[in-house]
Amino acid sequence: MKKLFLLILFPFIFFGCKTNTQITTDATQSSLKLAIDYKVKEDEVSSTLKYLSSDELEGRETGTKGIEKAAVYLEDFFKTNKVKPYFSSYRDTLSTFKTPAYNIVGYLEGTDPTLKNEFIILSAHYDHIGIDKKGLNGDFINNGANDDASGVVAVAEIAKYFSQTKLNKRSVLFVFFAGEEKGLLGSKHLAKKLKSKNFNLYAQLNIEMIGVPMKRDFLAYITGFDKTNMATKINEYTGDKTIGFLPKEAEYQLFFRSDNYPFFEAFGVPCQSISTFDFENFEFYHHVSDEFKVMDVPHMTSFIQELLPAVTHMASSPTKEILMTK
């Protein structure tokens, strides 16, 4: 998450085998709840998270050898899971950064002959802040397990899910952004590029910092809660109190601070970030101790599972149900 510590201090400053998964409606909880016969595997969540937040990647700062290793890993993940490159390759070269840097972009074409012309974007940033020259107790690497390797894992697992189940009637763009920590550079670049190509965007769900659970009566929050009906629709889709309102999100204006915002600004459609970081449950923001060992992998696994009915509805509803409210 981009420079959140500045907001905390100065809140008014802007800165793979195919499965025969079936889905059915579970009328006992919600008329929209889908019972999905697909299980996110905890060991696979753990494996991806552990690598992306390993010392080998040296904190994944944009433009470094460490983030290059992450890029190769994510390209290979897409290839393994039969997610196609959207452009000529998976690499979308940033026009907003001084040295070579890349968003990693894959897609799955929708299965409906009409709805496939509409897209949803599922995204997370795979960069972090790299090496801390001062360090702490001999540790100099900001591993970025929560921020935002956790979100990358979620998007990767959802890509795997759709690849295996083919339940997306709309086309889905899966994006791992670089340059988020440098000022949303990857998302600003891609939003401008897709807008110039008349990209038909229905909605974007960006996933940011889901490595630890909240102790609240809802599982997560979205940024810009009252700008759209996305929170309400996700709760309808999951049949649960998945999304709630977090006052701190509004206070710190997080809607403008992550990779959803450039797409909202360019396309004027619902584009929001989802998170379980609530300013009380994680003390290692932009810190060398944001490591794999402090992540709650069972929570991440169950939360990704929780999202599957929601993203399936987003990708398959016959009409656009997630709408702007103001």
- pLDDT tens digits, one per residue of 27-85: 334 456 788 999 999 999 999 999 999 999 999 999 999 999 999 999 999 999 999 99
Residues 6+ apart with CB under 8 A from 122: 155, 158, 159, 172, 173, 174, 175, 204, 205, 206, 207, 311
**Beta bridge partner(s), residue 220:** 243
Question: H helices of the chain, where?
Answer: 4-9, 42-52, 65-80, 150-165, 185-196, 230-238, 247-251, 261-267, 297-316
Q: Which pLDDT value is given to residue 3?
A: 56
Q: Say which amino acid occupies 32.
A: L
pLDDT at 21 over 80: no
**Beta bridge partner(s), residue 121:** 173, 204
pLDDT tens digits along 221-253: 999 999 999 999 999 999 999 999 999 999 999
Structure tokens at 326: 């103001």
The closest of 9, 69, 66, 59 to 289, measured between CA atoms, is: 59
Q: Which pLDDT value is given to residue 75?
A: 98
Q: Which pLDDT value is given to residue 15?
A: 28
| For range 183-211, the mean pLDDT | 98
Angular region, 291: left φ>0, alpha ψ -120 to 50, beta rest: beta
Report residue 26's pLDDT band, with 50, 70 and 90 as the boundaries. very low
| For range 190-216, the mean pLDDT | 98
d(CA 37, CA 257): 35
Structure tokens at 34: 């889908």
Q: Which pLDDT value is given to residue 33?
A: 73
Q: Which pLDDT value is given to residue 288?
A: 97
Q: Which helix (H) or strand (E) holds 178?
A: none
**Beta bridge partner(s), residue 273:** 206
pLDDT tens digits along 250-282: 999 999 999 999 999 999 999 999 999 999 999
Judged by average pLDDT, the poorest of 5-9, 179-183, 209-213, 259-263 is: 5-9
pLDDT at 203 over 60: yes
pLDDT at 319 over 50: yes
| For range 290-298, the mean pLDDT | 98
Q: Do the bridges between strand 271-275 and strand 201-207 make them parallel or antiparallel, or are there none, so unpaired?
A: parallel
What is the pLDDT of the chain when averaged over all its residues?
92
Structure tokens at 196: 């110039």
For domain 33-316, the question of CATH label 3.40.630.10 is answered with yes
pLDDT at 291 over 50: yes
Burial 150-167 (b: 16+ CB within 10 A, else e): bbbbbbbbbbbbbbbbeb
Q: Which residue has the higher pLDDT, 305 or 13?
A: 305
Q: What is the DSSP letter of 116?
A: G
Q: Which pLDDT value is given to residue 1?
A: 65
Q: Which pLDDT value is given to residue 53?
A: 98
| For range 202-211, the mean pLDDT | 98
The closest of 173, 181, 170 to 321, measured between CA atoms, is: 170
Q: Which pLDDT value is given to residue 135?
A: 86
| For range 108-114, the mean pLDDT | 98
Share of the chain above pLDDT 70, in %: 90
Q: Which pLDDT value is given to residue 2?
A: 59
